[in-house]
Amino acid sequence: MVNLQLMLAGEKEISTIQVLAHRIWKSHYPSVIGMEQVEYMLGRFYSRESMLDQMQQGQQFYLVYPGLGAHELIDPIGFVSISEAGGGQYFIHKFYIDQELHRRGVGTAVFSELLTIYGGSIQQLRLQVNRQNFKPINFYFKLGFVIERVADFDIGDGYFMNDFVMVWHAK
């Protein structure tokens, strides 16, 4: 098992999340949605105002840190955000890990840590993933998610998120 920690992030950590988002998105998403849409989505969903609004609407952001020693100051390697929809229903809005760490068990460890943080309260988890984003889709299948539906979301300025809505059920 990969050793890591999820640390709750608030307003003070927004700039750290923004730096991570720009680095992760620009290294991964241009081949999926093109750089113009990447820039649009970063501006729309990762501006300080947008992130404050997401936090005020109930999204809990977590920075992902590699296992920390007693005196180590290590930069975060990713971030996630999740919100509760009620009745054991949760939604993962963001799940991003530095690409250099993919396929090393980090994502699985983050998912396991989320389940630990939220204890037995999670009955179902949903998320959206771009239909052309094959590696994350397969990762979510590995975790036990299934495709619930296909959906296109208009995000403005002629851009769409062409996604699968995936769902995970507690066992």
CATH of the domain at 97: 3.40.630.30
Number of domains observed in the structure of the chain:
1
Which pLDDT belongs to residue 78? 93
User: Can you say whether the dihedral through the CA atoms of 36, 39, 45, 47 is positive or negative?
Assistant: negative
| CA-closest candidate to residue 111, choices 88, 127, 99, 100 | 127
Looking up tokens 């720009």 gives: 22
Calculate what percentage of the chain has a pLDDT beyond 90: 81
Per-residue confidence band for 85, with pLDDT thresholds at 50, 70 and 90: very high
Domain that holds residue 38: 4-169
What mean pLDDT comes out for the span 45-49? 97
Per-residue confidence band for 2, with pLDDT thresholds at 50, 70 and 90: low
d(CA 151, CA 114): 26
Which pLDDT belongs to residue 102? 60
Per-residue confidence band for 101, with pLDDT thresholds at 50, 70 and 90: low
Which pLDDT belongs to residue 98? 81
Which pLDDT belongs to residue 4? 86
What mean pLDDT comes out for the span 82-101? 90
User: Running DSSP on this structure, what letter comes out for residue 47?
Assistant: S
Model pLDDT for residues 127-148, shown as the tens digit of each residue: 999 999 999 999 999 999 999 9
Which pLDDT belongs to residue 27? 92
Which pLDDT belongs to residue 66? 84
Which pLDDT belongs to residue 99? 72
Calculate what percentage of the chain has a pLDDT beyond 70: 92
Which pLDDT belongs to residue 3? 79
pTM above 0.85, yes or no: yes
| CA-closest candidate to residue 29, choices 94, 75, 90 | 94
